[in-house]
Structure 1
């Protein structure tokens, strides 16, 4: 070790940078090059190298490197226990002045006598470091720089704050001296050496200038000592080769010299409260602050209130039995139907020749009575609908174009008398709910509840019913009614009970291709043989179409409610349904002729095959909708990945995966449009609606927009704003806007009464895109103003202007609507846009009061509330 040297004020130290306004560090240690502003600090620091302890306790002869630590130690000796604390054994005045290199490298105690006992025992050379180490003379020389004597003392209260660290450091020095290689006498001496418990220190901010590298020799605090010895033994951490000296040195000489820290930032607390609400904040604006730039909190609250009564919010109440509350509607008054302006629509709409029999009505009434409360039995039995009304409702169900019952019910073999009461009640309920007559709708919802209760009893009475065709048809029809009822309770029940149906089909092997029989007639089949083969084929096809209808229901409800689909696209291995021309064959002979004239029926592809080979789209009429519903599973997965990546801090790493997946799905749908162009010319408009809704979901986070609109309250609306603010400036947002316009164009071309159920929710999603896009654009402070005056009709044919709008954000987006005047409405006019879409939904149904289905009425009210909240 060398002498202390004076460091010029301009010198930059390697350990800690010197601030321009910091006091000059004039005193530097020649061993570790550490500098200090005061010479007494340097003196204390030098003792950490020399292990010199000039201050000795007169009671127990224990040595200390600092006088304040000695004073604190002596204060612990009381008059009554002074004799007890004196050591009976021989103690040394202080630690060894300098250890040999072998003991120093292994953190072990050494002796003044050289060679030391450890080196003699190990038969190794006992070498001492070169004579550059500090000695007493050098310490005194450092003190003499300011005219200090060797008895220089520092104020005791200047170091109160670090007494705990001094105790810990000394315990470490003592511990490393009690290793297995140390002499036993030293070990016993060390174990005997302990200090008294010191009084709690008093802290002084002005004197917080302690240098942590100084030697600390006070005994361990009892609690800390117990922890270190019992839980974390010091010997196992610091002894021997497990803790080599150098870069891995774990010596507890912590640097706590606060002269190296700039604590002037605390000065502001002397003039103001640290957490005063008026103190300026440098934090990034929160979601609440961000959303306040675009809209007031009142608007968010109004939107949240609008959703409380919508179909998306159901709050169960324990004091009401909703199923029993609908039972009085089963007592249908005949005058209600006769006086209804819509009663004529139930006349002369027949799909089958067989009429309902009295025995069939009695079975239906028996089921209803079993599921009602005793208080309602007498009234229902006396006022239950007659045969004519029930039969008319069955025919209305079979012939309604927007129910599409003929796609999975076989009309040539349909017989009300052969249906189970639960299924018959549900068929009548579906027909009644589809009428524009309000009393009939109430009757339909009450029959659906009776069918649901009766079905549960049937499953309990006979567990094999879960594989029965009619029971499964009844469950699926109940789910259809509930999902599109517009009643939040029924919608939630339908969403919940879809899983049992999917489980029944999956456990029954209905998703596997090997479970289906390929029944094909031959030229020799005639008479009874042909009739039996036809009925077997019908039963097989009924099951097949049931599974495909369940798959369609699962996909449509997933898109409508933004919930995970329950049927995986990878498990759809069953074949596609047969062509409708064969399905509607009225007899066995007709079926035989059509089957033999169509050889391709023998090898029908599965939905998975259609996904992998687009050539099937032009060869099978059911391939196109199956393909789109299969793709929805992939789009849902992509949307979940995008939602998680948007909340992650490693989004740049995921951007490549998401962008490539987005491009792949977009290409899937573009290839679909090209491959099925001929099919689209004659296909149903519903397929077009599904396609545009898929593209809309692919480019827009509909779930976040629902939150932003207020479906889960004002707080969630504010949380969803930051992510949507980043989305609205992308080309994907403008692409979603274009698909929303195309969806509205197709919806406006649907036949009267068709804007219901899934189609009505698709229109609502399109309106939500238009509304949210405008509202989010208003909230962007640096929104670029487009100087182009070209109006881009989103619901018009695709053009160069629409492409330029999507790619370059040029043009004024607008919709033309279905109004006779053909006026163009810019989407910035949210009031006019929502008013136009509300009129579209209303005009698709009769203008009479209550003619709109409940779901459409609820969506209209919701859109009106959003329009009022953003005026």
Structure 2
């Protein structure tokens, strides 16, 4: 192959090439135009590739028919057409057969079958992957969040119809993804980032309006009903209501960000009523109360005492959790106003920790942005993720010294008891917001594959204390529970380091800690250790399923041992939880997180992302040999089982709670199963072609089939998303059995659910999509934006799987 000369947009045309046809006139200002033939291109690499055809000519001839091509990838696609009807390639003759080298063998590993699925067959020179992509699994929407005239009109509808029951069907406001004819374009569009759409999204003034009319009356009715339901559920724990002064404070904060008098007038006349705003607040508080990592102290929460920034943040979070796009846009507009307000307060005061409400608002705004599903909100939230982390670190909130022990005596009464209670819950509030940021940091790291911002080594603060104490309504009740639960507890509360050194410390302190929160903290730390292992494996080119790394040398023994230690640690924790019995039950979220971590230990998500085109066609080809080797190993069966268990616990989520990080965990599990099905189908196709060729050439005796462990359970069906048992152990250790996964249960009968084999990628990804959709169908709720984006992504993958 001749080396290509440096390419520039002004490269001189080759005099030997004969130009045909009429030159196309380039419009004035066109950025990438060929000086020879005046062809226009939207990307510089497309122009550079085109100029090569002028300067170098078609220098890659076909060894069969002699037709020449300008690029090697076009030649490879062309040679695929030189096949008989039985699928075997025509025999090469002469020097062509002798010149088949190692490079061709490597490309051959990316089978013809996969080329037909993952790439279009058109010999076009204008398609390529967009390298400027977001991290893996960052599926974002670029829909404008501006309020339009119809939205302002619906605000009045909201104020007048608060008590209306839901009697209309939810409308889906999301635009359907474009029907992409060729799969290569389809796979590329999944990961590509359209810079123009990203740059023009209105962020500075979300109260502006130039959008089309949007009819969401039915969704609005459903959202009003949901607000009433949330208020009733929360009433037993928190019954305070928003005061008129609170609404005025939020309105004033929002009006401060309006740029002109017309906008001020429009916002003032259509701003939600006091009752509607109170519904938004209770909708969010009901959701936050159910979170394991909640950090708002409900027994002492007085809405009238909160800063307008805090109240506006809670209103925004509640509005975004509704199913009506108009109300969601209102929530995001309020979020933008609060973000500007807090930034100004920080600039003037310089210390956000002077008021707990400001720090809580900052963390909640980040939570809202990170899991919003909108690109601009995600980028804005991610850009200042380190802010609360740095603030808490600078105030020594990661140190044990910031949380001295509070002594409680039986004779403590009156003001003394009130002061001790206040000291305790203030310190516990700081502790819980630290660990909330830590858990969220781990979740975002899993989502993006980036390094966590918080290190487990620096968290020396005590673990959260029992939730019964945290929810005590009065100082007297707190004292009674404290003396009952913590009377015999040692003064030194265990920290995260104690837990990681010996997990049995948790068993010895079950009564003295918030066990559910502590489990989430422990699993977040295990992710940090797994991520460190994955980074080292990536540097060394090592894989847990191979004795040799990607460079061909022996794998690092230390990495292999580390992999075994991490998996043993998680298995020990799982067995330890079984020993706790009904005394401490792990939630579906925690079980889902546990199996997701174990799945990450048995599959390289980076390889899967590259195989999907996240990085270009060449990286896709490089990832296939590794995934093929993985699919034939015990590691693949382990990964499939943990992925299926992740789906199992996803089906246990209460209605309308499969959102935020958990929908990403569901998608990662489904993606692992889907890739396994694609790769195994490609391998089987290649084996069938190879066997057919051997039979025709008469060399069948020299072939050596892969040995298979015999057994009478080879055809026994087993459900990977079911209970652990003997059949599962036979499958994991010897590969015996026919694995299946199930979709969501239909009604109350699990037997009525859809069943799919991991070897069928389309059915499997459809089952995963149904699990997501079924979590919202019963309540007639519209999917959250992030969940909707992933649902559309799975529809893309289903179309890919249909080609198998």
Aligned residue number for residue 511 of structure 1: 398
* Aligned counterparts of 2:389 and 2:343: Cα–Cα separation in 1: 16
DSSP 3-state at the match of 2:276: helix
Residue 565 of structure 2 is matched in structure 1 by: 664
Q: CA offset at residue 723 of structure 1? A: 2.5
Contact 1:745 1:817 in 2 (8 A): no
Offset, 1:784: 4.9
2:523 to 628, 651, 669: 628
Structure-2 residue corresponding to 1:705:
608
Q: Is the 8 A contact 1:520 1:595 kept in 2?
A: no
User: What is the aligned partner in structure 1 of residue 655 from structure 2?
Assistant: 752
Give 5+ residue unaligned stretches, structure 1: 1-272
Does the C-alpha gap of structure 1 residues 770 and 440 become closer, same or farther in structure 2, counting only changes over 3 Å? Answer: same
Q: 1:363 aligns with which of 249, 252, 256?
A: 249
Residue by residue, what CA displacement relative to the aligned partner does 1:319-352 show, whole Å, maximum 9, x if unpaired? 5253235324899999958952332121143442
Matched, 1:724 2:627: yes
1:606 aligns with 2:495: yes
* Counterparts in 2 of 1:602 and 1:309: CA distance versus 1, 3 Å: farther
1:473 alignment partner, SS class: helix
Secondary structure class of the residue paired with 2:462: coil
Residue pair 2:295, 2:433 contacting (<8 A) in 1 also: yes
Paired residue for 2:421?
534
Q: Secondary structure at the match of 1:485?
A: coil
1:320/1:805 CA distance change after superposition, 3 Å = same
Among 670, 675, 678, the alignment partner of 1:775 is 678
SS, match of residue 461 in structure 2: coil
Q: Equivalent of 1:852, from 768, 780, 783?
A: 783
Q: Which residue of structure 2 aligns with residue 327 of structure 1?
A: 207
C-alpha deviation, 1:589, in angstroms: 0.8
- Give the TM-score of the pair, scaled to structure 2: 0.69
Matched, 1:340 2:221: yes
User: Contact (CA 8 Å) 2:219, 2:324: kept in 1 or not?
Assistant: no
Q: CA contact under 8 A between 1:646 and 1:723: conserved in structure 2?
A: no
Provide the C-alpha distance between the structure 1 equivalents of 2:105 and 2:226, rounded to a whole number of angstroms: 57
Distance 1:405 1:393 in 2: 21
CA RMSD of aligned residues (A): 3.2
Q: Structure 1 residues 733-742 or 517-526, which shifts more? A: 517-526
1:435 positional shift: 2.0
Give the counterpart of 1:803 among 705, 709, 729.
729
**Shift of residue 519, structure 1, vs aligned partner:** 2.2
Q: Deviations over 1:120-163 (max 9, x none)?
A: xxxxxxxxxxxxxxxxxxxxxxxxxxxxxxxxxxxxxxxxxxxx
- TM-aligned CA deviation for residue 771 of structure 1: 0.4
Aligned equivalents of 1:523, 1:308: Cα separation in 2: 68
Deviation at 1:654, TM superposition (A): 3.6
Verify the 8 A CA contact 1:617 1:675 in the aligned structure 2: no
Structure 2: runs of 5+ lacking an equivalent: 1-67, 76-94, 121-181, 543-548, 688-704, 747-751
Q: Is the 8 A contact 1:334 1:385 kept in 2?
A: no
Partner residue, 1:66: none
Question: Which shows bigger deviation, 745-754 or 822-831?
Answer: 822-831
CA distance in 2, matches of 1:318, 1:837: 29
Which structure has the higher relative contact order (CA within 8 Å, separation 6+)? 2
* 3-state SS in 2 of match to 1:718: helix
Give TM-score scaled by structure 1 length: 0.64
What SS is found at the alignment partner of 1:792?
strand
1:330, 1:361 → 2: CA distance? Answer: 27
Match of 2:103 in 1: 284
Please identify, of 434-443 and 410-419, the stretch whose mean Cα deviation from structure 2 is larger: 434-443
Is the contact between residue 827 and residue 833 of structure 1 (CA under 8 Å) also seen in structure 2? yes
Closer/same/farther in 2, CA of residues 591 and 616 from structure 1, 3 Å limit: same
Q: Could you tell me how far apart the structure 2 residues matched to 1:398 and 1:735 are?
A: 39
Match of 1:293 in 2: 112
Would you say the 8 A contact 1:436–1:850 is kept in 2? yes
**Distance of 1:745 and 1:728 partners within structure 2:** 22
Aligned pair 1:694/2:597, yes or no? yes
- 2-structure distance, mates of 1:856, 1:391: 27
Q: CA deviation at 1:288?
A: 4.9
Could you say if the C-alpha distance between residues 862 and 300 of structure 1 is closer, same or farther in structure 2, counting changes exceeding 3 Å? Answer: farther
Q: Distance in 2 between matches of 1:512 and 1:499?
A: 18
Residues 288, 856 of structure 1: CA spacing in aligned structure 2 closer, same or farther, 3 A cutoff?
farther
Aligned residues between the structures = 600
CA distance 1:343–1:287, shift in 2 (3 Å)? farther
**Structure 1: how far apart are the matches of 2:496 and 2:745?**
39
Q: Which residue of 1 aligns with 2:756?
A: 825
Report if the CA contact (8 A) 2:452-2:528 is conserved: yes
Question: Is the Cα–Cα contact under 8 Å of residues 329 and 443 in structure 1 kept in the other structure?
Answer: no
